[in-house]
Chains A and B, each alone.
Chain A
Amino acid sequence: MTRCLLTALIMVGALAPSVAPAAAAAAQVVVQDPYLEFRSGPGRGYPIFHVVDRGEEVALVRRRTDWIKVRSDRGREGWVHRSQLERTLTPQGEQVRLAGPTPESRMEHRWEVGLVTGDFGGANLVSATTSYALTQSLHVRLDVSHLLGSYSNGWLGTAGLLHAFMPQWRVSPFVSLGGGVVHISPKATIVQAEDRTDPTAYAGLGLRGFLTNRFLLQAEYRKFVVLTSRDDNQEIDEWTVGFTYFF
């Protein structure tokens, strides 16, 4: 018991100094807006309980989505929206940059990650997708999909290119092209179960539209050709819709 307590004490002791410098290292800024409104929580609905005037120094403690926890020099802590801190300066007079999504980020972003669901030749599909923008209209894309059908299940992994024709438009058509591997295993209740893994290639057509400055809604049709080891290649239609977040 004593040993347990001792270890606990040592652990707390070891943690304590590591916490203190982190708190001290919070960025110090000077308020430039007429005032900062301190809210009790990270959201627009939380009540304002304190106000700090222009010229005062505050510390930026942590950030959650668009809300920043701020500590005044009198020790008060509250959550302030990013928009009220955009014009703050560091004590040296430098502009504080608190990056947020702007309409330009629609064009300038590099990475996209998304969740997609749909139909793959009659089977349900759940997939995670990620893409990297080489130019504003050309993206390299990777997808991993889980196929869940009535008679068989499987996995599909693809890599390809996506070309958006009018990336500056709110809704832009695109084409895609790529290849990958599909693994199908018939369900346990079906006799003559035999797993198959085959290479596949696809060509697709779709629409992507900006919902906000961070989200895309993407709908796509892809035609897959599965290069089977049998006599005939198999053709599969895929319809999907999904949300994509970009940063």
Chain B
Amino acid sequence: MDRGLHVFLLSAAALGGALMTPAAAAQDPTGAASGTPQVVEPQVERRDVKPPRIDAENFEVGGFIGTIGIEDFGSSTVYGGRGAYHFTEDLFAEATIGTAKAGRTSYEDLSGSVELLTDSQRQFTYYDLSIGWNALPGEVFLGGRRAMPSAVYLTLGGGSTRFGGDDNFSLVVGAGLRLLVTDSFAAHLGVRDQMFESDLLGEKKLTQNLQFSFGLTAFF
């Protein structure tokens, strides 16, 4: 037992010595270098570099209310939401959702009791994605002392309109005026035409649905 421990300790020491030799040899040159006395002790404090953060406000989110003329179904109040991301001072992408309740066709009004669509089919809802261009940037002057940056913009996009129980691919062309009331809030006046093919009244045709709206958005 005792002899076994002795052999073990001896071999451990031999192994340790074998391992130490190259390590010590490797340390040798550094040891020689650190032997020379250092004249100047650098006292550099590590500084926390914090790049200044600036509040980037390229997103614009808000709502709108207006009136929409749904072809053959009269005009109705429309409301919805609008989001935009400004890529550059000229270009932005815009997403819009909206809903309106369509009225009755003149045929339904004249005949009295005929109903072409059920109540839920009369719900006119849409979404679309557009690319916008700030075509006419400028300023709007209120009185003699106040000027607000503004832009007349054009949009072109596509989306889907749900009406009469079906989804329809729609092409959207729009124009608007954006007025920066403060740096973070904007007022919009917009007009747009939403075009889609519909066969609700028998024959298939391209319907034009014009919308005028007023909206408020916030930048963040």
Q: Mark A34-56, 1 if CB is under 8 A from B, else 0.
A: 00000011111110000000000
Q: Mark B119-138, 1 if CB is under 8 A from A, else 0.
A: 00000000011010010011
**A126-B160, A148-B169 in contact; A67/B89 too (CB < 8 A)?**
yes
Looking at B6-14, B33-41, B45-53, B210-218, the stretch in contact with chain A turns out to be B45-53
Q: How far is the CB of B188 from chain A (nearest CB, A)?
A: 16
Q: Which residues of B contact A40 (CB under 8 A)?
A: 139, 147, 149
Q: Are A148 and B168 in touch, CB under 8 angstroms?
A: yes
Q: Are B52 and A64 in touch, CB under 8 angstroms?
A: no
Q: Are A43 and B89 in touch, CB under 8 angstroms?
A: yes
Looking at B20-28, B55-63, B73-81, B99-107, the stretch in contact with chain A turns out to be B55-63
Pick the contact of A41 from B149, B164, B166, B197 — CB < 8 Å? B149
Q: Are A65 and B88 in touch, CB under 8 angstroms?
A: yes
- Give complex CA distance A67, B58 in Å: 11
Q: Which residues of B contact A164 (CB under 8 A)?
A: none
The tally of CB-CB contacts under 8 A between chains A and B is 98
Q: Which residues of A contact B56 (CB under 8 A)?
A: 62-64
Q: How far is the CB of A47 from chain B (nearest CB, A)?
A: 9
**A43-B89, A243-B131 in contact; A126/B158 too (CB < 8 A)?**
yes
Q: Are A115 and B52 in touch, CB under 8 angstroms?
A: no
Q: Are A214 and B166 in touch, CB under 8 angstroms?
A: no
Which residue in chain A gives the minimum CB-CB distance to B49? A94
Q: Are A96 and B52 in touch, CB under 8 angstroms?
A: yes
Q: How far is the CB of B94 from chain A (nearest CB, A)?
A: 10
Which residue in chain A gives the minimum CB-CB distance to B167? A153
Q: Are A60 and B52 in touch, CB under 8 angstroms?
A: yes
Q: Are A117 and B158 in touch, CB under 8 angstroms?
A: yes
Q: Are A65 and B89 in touch, CB under 8 angstroms?
A: yes
Chain B binding surface SS class: strand
Indicate the member of B52, B56, B139 with the most A CB atoms within 10 Å. B52
Q: Are B54 and A64 in touch, CB under 8 angstroms?
A: no
- Give complex CA distance A97, B51 in Å: 7
Number of interface residues of B (CB under 8 A): 39
Give the size range of A's interface with the partner. 35 or more
- Give complex CA distance A94, B47 in Å: 11
Pick the contact of B137 from A43, A90, A115, A245 — CB < 8 Å? A43
Which residue in chain B gives the minimum CB-CB distance to A28? B52
Q: Are A27 and B129 in touch, CB under 8 angstroms?
A: no
Q: Which residues of B contact A148 (CB under 8 A)?
A: 160, 167-169
Q: Is A4 an interface residue (CB 8 A)?
A: no
Q: How far is the CB of B124 from chain A (nearest CB, A)?
A: 15
Q: Mark B129-170, 1 if CB is under 8 A from A, else 0.
A: 101001001110000000101000000011110001111110
Q: Which residues of B contact A42 (CB under 8 A)?
A: 89, 149
Q: Which residues of B contact A214 (CB under 8 A)?
A: 87-88
**A27-B53, A69-B183, A148-B168 in contact; A44/B129 too (CB < 8 A)?**
no
**A29-B52, A148-B168 in contact; A66/B131 too (CB < 8 A)?**
no
- Give complex CA distance A126, B55 in Å: 33
Q: How far is the CB of B155 from chain A (nearest CB, A)?
A: 12
Q: Are A153 and B88 in touch, CB under 8 angstroms?
A: no
Q: Are A62 and B55 in touch, CB under 8 angstroms?
A: yes
Q: Is A188 an interface residue (CB 8 A)?
A: yes
Q: Which residues of B contact A117 (CB under 8 A)?
A: 158
Q: Is A192 an interface residue (CB 8 A)?
A: no
**A64-B58, A69-B183 in contact; A187/B166 too (CB < 8 A)?**
yes
**A45-B137, A62-B57, A187-B166 in contact; A245/B51 too (CB < 8 A)?**
no
Q: Is B82 an interface residue (CB 8 A)?
A: no
Q: Is A2 an interface residue (CB 8 A)?
A: no
- Give complex CA distance A45, B183 in Å: 17
Q: Are A188 and B166 in touch, CB under 8 angstroms?
A: yes
Which residue in chain A gives the minimum CB-CB distance to B52? A27
Q: Are A27 and B158 in touch, CB under 8 angstroms?
A: no
Q: Are B160 and A60 in touch, CB under 8 angstroms?
A: no
Chain A residues packing against B (C-beta within 8 Å): 26-29, 40-46, 60-69, 90, 92, 94, 96-98, 115, 117, 123-124, 126, 128, 146, 148, 150, 153, 187-189, 214-215, 243, 245
| Given A153-B167, A214-B87: 10 more A-B contacts, CB < 8 Å | A42-B89, A44-B89, A45-B137, A63-B54, A65-B86, A67-B89, A115-B157, A117-B158, A188-B164, A245-B87
